[in-house]
Structure 1
Amino acid sequence: MFFIIIALVIIQRLVEVVIAKRNEKHMLAQGAYEVGASHYPYMLALHISFFLFLVAEVVFLNRTTSPLFPVFFFVFLLVQILRVWCLTSLGKFWNTKIIVLPGANVVTKGPYLYFRHPNYIVVCTEILLLPLMFQAYFTALAFTLLNLAMLSVRIPLEEKALIEATDYNEALKKKISAS
């Protein structure tokens, strides 16, 4: 079961890379630009290493399915629904890179109506849940911390770029006043 789930998640990530590349080309053609390119290779390395460490910990340390697997798996499936909701809500704006289109109206529908960065919530939850489903506690802890460190760089860069180039502040004000 472990290898089936991991294979499906890796296939999902590869499909997302194809979608991101397509969206990147579309956005760049519209006049968008990339922000934070220097950290992107490190983010890729983090995500690839996550799967390598997860597989290594489960295989070499003979980790088994958690007694809480049904609960973890159910939450994981809910997170996948949130992932799809994030991607479909952002549409052509969704990307694995920080691609900013000057003058664009930021997306404030779907989960973006409730959270500023719901896709990061998805990623953080997955990085915790996948290892916990198979009792890979080292991978869960190490990569949760590494991912939080990555996001501590990425989110401020993204926010700054959105504030400088889009209606981000206005959209947040509208969202706050509507609450």
Structure 2
Amino acid sequence: MSWYLVLILLIGLERLAELVIARRNARWSLERGGVVSGQGHYPWMVVLHTGLLAGAPLEVALADRPFLPALGWPMLALVVAAQALRWWCVVTLGRRWNTQVIVVPGLPLVIGGPYRHGWLRHPNYVAVVVEGFALPLVHTAWVTAVVFTVLNAVLLTIRVRCENTALAAAGAGS
């Protein structure tokens, strides 16, 4: 279990790095007239993602969940792939990437990297979904995986609608 705690801590550190980048990018966006949307659902996203990082190791410890190699190794590969996709999104969006919905009016949609060809409009959220079920399942924390996945589906439905509305209102892509 100690290596699993290290994995969770590494993901937690990655989240802290995201917050640093997001704050810097928020300043940049707001200085250019960026509009913040979806502030009502954002705190719930923070709680849910914190719950994922706390819930998975707690479930492993309290329910004595075993590491099953046939499940754990493929799930670890998915966690790594989700991180790679997330950071591809962060790098591609540059200063426009954020953990909040902040849109600078008039800027065109980003169409490079994972956003190319428009076949995947929200690739960062694909990374979130994959990580949300895979990270707990690395060590068979299936209750955490199910609870996070269900609650995340509700929040992402709200988030994607909010983001699409904000992009349309700002004239992004026109």
1:72 matched to 2:75? The reply is yes
Q: Of 64, 87, 92, which aligns to 1:89? A: 92
Alignment of 1:22-37 (within 5 A): 22-37=24-39
Q: Which residue of 2 aligns with 1:124?
A: 129
Q: Of 141, 144, 156, which aligns to 1:151? A: 156
Report sequence identity in percent.
38
Q: Which residue of 1 aligns with 2:138?
A: 133
Separation in 2, partners of 1:134, 1:92: 35
Indicate if the aligned counterparts of 1:106 and 1:166 stay in contact, CA closer than 8 A.
Answer: no
Q: Which residue of 2 aligns with 1:174?
A: none
Give the deviation of 1:75 after TM superposition.
2.2
Q: Which amino acid aligns with 1:107?
A: V
Indicate if the aligned counterparts of 1:131 and 1:137 stay in contact, CA closer than 8 A.
Answer: yes
Tell me the TM-score normalized by structure 1.
Answer: 0.91
Give the deviation of 1:14 after TM superposition.
0.4
Separation in 1, partners of 2:81, 2:99: 21
Separation in 1, partners of 2:74, 2:57: 21
Q: Which amino acid aligns with 1:48?
A: T
Q: Which residue of 2 aligns with 1:101?
A: 104
Deviations 1:34-71 (A, max 9, x none): 00111111111111112221121011111122222222
Moved over 6 A (4+): none
Deviations 1:70-94 (A, max 9, x none): 2221222222211111100000000
Q: Which amino acid aligns with 2:106?
A: G
Give the deviation of 1:19 after TM superposition.
0.4
Q: Which residue of 2 aligns with 1:4?
A: 6
Q: Which amino acid aligns with 2:23?
A: K
Q: Which amino acid aligns with 2:170?
A: A
Could you list the runs of 5+ residues in structure 2 that have no partner in the other structure? none
Tell me the TM-score normalized by structure 2.
Answer: 0.93
How many pairs does the alignment contain?
A: 169
SS at match of 1:106: coil
Q: Of 37, 52, 55, which aligns to 1:53? A: 55
Q: Which amino acid aligns with 2:42?
A: Y
After superposition, the CA RMSD in angstroms is 1.1
Could you list the runs of 5+ residues in structure 1 that have no partner in the other structure? 171-179
Indicate if the aligned counterparts of 1:101 and 1:166 stay in contact, CA closer than 8 A.
Answer: no
Q: Which moved more, 1:84-93 or 1:46-55?
A: 46-55
